[in-house]
């Protein structure tokens, strides 16, 4: 049973929405990251049984933590600050690794996580993308172009 210490796919989306490349990508796709964030919050609140600010924010789960888990500079498992990854969140992270391309050794970036989130079956995340007309088919070529230009 999920609890407020679980890391959900919507937490990953909140984390990547703060990344400047992701913000620029969404703008190029015709939407605004802040608007997607507001839609995400509205969809989460509509689905929530209780309102818990700590669960919404999942304090401490930010983009640096997500990217460190995907690009580990260490030998041990990623540190999620005592939080537990849901299977759906773990699937998004695995897909993000594949979004770099089948033979890529480049680091996973926020844009790769964004693409992986677009494949996620989570109704809150998927609904936020649908509400703004953001699709994987439209985003993939833009992400490929933008990630090539960033170090």
pLDDT digits (tens, 9 = 90+) for 129-141: 999 999 999 999 9
Q: What's the whole-number average pLDDT of the chain?
A: 83
Residue 136 is predicted with a pLDDT of 93
What percentage of the chain has pLDDT greater than the value 70? 81
**Residue 11 in this model has a pLDDT that exceeds 50:** yes
Q: Largest alpha-carbon pair distance within the chain?
A: 44
The predicted structure's pLDDT at residue 81: 75
Q: Angle between the 9-16 and 87-98 helix axes, to the nearest 10 degrees? A: 50
**Domains of the chain (ranges, CATH numbers):** 6-149 (1.10.1780)
Q: How far apart are CA 120 and CA 89, in angstroms?
A: 9
pLDDT reported for residue 82: 78
Helix ranges, the chain (H)? 9-16, 20-28, 33-47, 53-57, 63-70, 87-98, 110-118, 123-131, 136-149
Mean pLDDT of all residues in 94-117: 85
Question: Is the pLDDT at 1 greater than 50, yes or no?
Answer: no
Q: Which is more confident, 36 or 66?
A: 36
Confidence (pLDDT) at 79: 75
């Amino acid at each position: 049973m999920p609890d407020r210490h679980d890391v959900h796919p919507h937490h990953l989306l909140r984390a990547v929405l703060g990344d400047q490349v992701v913000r620029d990508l969404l703008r190029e796709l015709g939407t605004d990251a802040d608007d997607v964030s507001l839609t995400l919050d509205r969809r989460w609140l509509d689905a929530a049984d209780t309102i818990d600010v700590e669960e919404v924010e999942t304090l401490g789960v930010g983009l640096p933590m997500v990217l460190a888990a995907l690009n580990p500079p260490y030998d041990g498992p990623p540190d999620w600050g005592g939080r537990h990854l849901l299977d759906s969140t773990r699937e998004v992270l695995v897909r993000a690794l594949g979004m770099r391309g089948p033979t890529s050794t480049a680091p996973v970036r926020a844009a790769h996580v964004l693409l992986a989130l677009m494949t996620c079956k989570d109704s809150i995340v998927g609904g936020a993308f649908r509400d703004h007309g953001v699709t994987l088919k439209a985003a993939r070529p833009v992400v490929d172009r933008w990630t090539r230009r960033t170090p």
